[in-house]
């Protein structure tokens, strides 16, 4: 996860996405804390790499998974903010339910 975060900070979105994908694939439980974080970060990389059409549905799935869990207010807030910003930046109309 750490390498992915460093790559994100450097603006290397594709490389960061690769790191988060590796973490996600190594975690046998995709809804574990690490699995959810890796999914969220991977989706955020896609959005910032200009691929909102791929990243937004993934962010929605993460938000839905997080909303089913108790607590995790900070993680929920971050995921919801990222989803909202992604929708706002994309115009929002293409991704309504």
What pTM did the predictor assign?
Answer: 0.88
Q: Indicate whether 2 pLDDT > 80.
A: yes
For position 71, which CATH number holds?
1.25.40
pLDDT of residue 9: 96
- Per the structure, the count of domains in the chain is 1
pLDDT for 27-47, tens place per residue? 766 678 899 999 999 999 999
pLDDT for 79-93, tens place per residue? 999 999 999 998 865
Q: What integer best gives the mean pLDDT of the chain? A: 91
Closest CA to 18 of 26, 76, 66: 26
The rounded distance, in Å, linking the Cα atoms of 66 and 62 is 6
Range of the domain at 60: 2-95
């Amino acid at each position: 996860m750490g390498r992915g975060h460093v790559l994100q900070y450097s603006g290397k979105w594709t490389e960061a996405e690769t790191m988060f994908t590796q973490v996600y694939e190594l975690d046998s439980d995709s809804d574990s804390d690490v699995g959810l974080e890796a999914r969220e970060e991977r989706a955020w990389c896609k959005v910032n790499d200009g691929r909102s059409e791929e990243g937004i549905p993934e962010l929605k799935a993460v938000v839905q998974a997080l909303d089913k869990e108790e607590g995790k207010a900070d993680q929920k807030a971050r995921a919801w903010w990222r989803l909202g910003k992604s929708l706002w930046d994309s115009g929002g109309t293409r991704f309504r339910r």
